Amino acid sequence: MASSGFVLLDKTAGETSFKALFPLKRVFCTKRVGHAGTLDLRASGLIIAATGRATRLLPYIEAKDKCYTFRLHLGYETDTLEWDGEVVRTDERVETRDERGEVECHSEGVILSEAERSRRIQCGAPSVTRADLEAVLPQFIGDIDQVPPNYCALKINGRRASDLMNRGREIELNPRRIHIESLKVIGEGLVTEGCTGKCFATFDLECNCSKGTYIRSLGRDLARALGTCGCVSMIRRHRIGNVTVDRAVRGDALTPEHLLPVDQVLDFPVVRLNDDQVKAIRLGNWVPWRTPVENLSTTPGTEKFVFTADKDGAVIGLGVYDPGRICPKFFLGDD
C-alpha cells in the first residue's frame, strides 16, 4: 500500500473536518494525515485530505478556487450566521397584521402569489423577489472586501475567534480581500427545518470563489444589500480546483484503494527522470533539463512547479522548473 497520497472525502453535515480524518488514520495506519480547506461543522461536501509526505502539498490544494451551493434565508440573522443559531436581528416587517389587527407570520420558504405579495407590501411586509436578488449580485462579483463571521477559526492573538466568542469576549475582525468569480440563483422557496427565526423568503445560490471566502458572511452581506437581514443553511462544497465531489467517498466507505497518486489531484506537469537524475533529486541537487515542459503555470511571479517522477511515472517529488534545469523543492517518495 502506498504511504503517501490524496483522499477525496465527502464530509457529512454535523461532523467536524478534523473528525472526518479519523477513517484515514485507521485505514492507512498512520497519524500523518491532514486536509486542505476546513468546512464548517454544519457544511457538507468535498475535503481533500492527504497522508504521509503528501501532506506537504496541502497548501497548494488550499490555494485553489472553490464552488459552493447554499440556501439564503431572509428575515432574520443569527450569531453564527447559520439558520439555527441564536437570533440577534429580525426584520421587524416579518410580522404583519391582517384586517382584524391580528398578527400573521410569514410561512417559511413559501413563494407568494402576486396578489398576496401586493397585499403584504401594502401592510408593510418585506417582499424580495428573485429579480431583486439577482439585481444585487453584481455588487459581489470580482475582488471584494469581506468581514469573516465572528464564529470562525481565524485566530486573534493566538486564540480562535469562535473560542473567544464562546467565552463572552467582544471581538472585531478586519475585512479580507477575496475574489468571487460567479454567483447565481439556482432555486427559491425551499424550506430548511430547524430555523430559529422567521424568514419571509429563501433562495438557493451557487458561488465560485477564492480561498478565504466565507459563505456565511456572503449570505449576511447579500441580505443587507437587499435592505433586510439574513443567514444561510445547506452549505455544500462541490469543487476544489478541478476536483469535484462526485469523485469523493464517505468516511465510512473508505478503503486503501481510495488513496490517489498526487498527480491525479494536483495538475502540475509531470517530468520523468532517469535513474541518475532521480538519485540527484533525492540528494537535493538540481538536474539539467532542456526538454520543453507543457502546461506550466503562466501566472506572473509564481514558481513553475512540476512533479518529478521516475522512469515508470511514479511521482517522487515536487520541483521547480527554471529555464535549463529542474530544482527539487521537497521529496515525496518512499525512503
Spatial strand order of the sheet with 305-309 comes to 270-272, 305-309, 315-322, 324-331, 287-289
65 in catalytic set: no
Catalytic residue among 10, 40, 91, 221: 40
The CA distance from 279 to 270, in Å, is: 17
Closest CA to 270 of 335, 214, 316, 235: 316
SS (H, E, C) the chain: CCCCEEEEEEECCCCCCCHHHHHHHHHHCCCCEEEECCCCCCCEEEEEEEEHHHHHHHHHHHCCCEEEEEEEEECEEECCCECCCCEEEECCCCEEECCCCCEEECCCCCCCCHHHHHHHHHCCCCCCCHHHHHHHHHHHCEEEEECCCCCCCCEECCEEHHHHHHCCCCCCCCCEEEEEEEEEEEEECCCCCCCCCCCCEEEEEEEEECCCCCHHHHHHHHHHHCCCCEEEEEEEEEEECCEEHHHCECHHHCCHHHCECHHHCCCCCEEECCHHHHHHHHCCCCEEECCCCCCCCCCCCCCCEEEEECCCCCEEEEEEEECEEEEEEEECCCC
**Total residues belonging to the chain:** 335
Opening angle at CA 224, ends 222 and 229, nearest 5: 100
Residue 334, C-alpha cell as written in the block: 518512499
Q: Which residues are catalytic?
A: 40
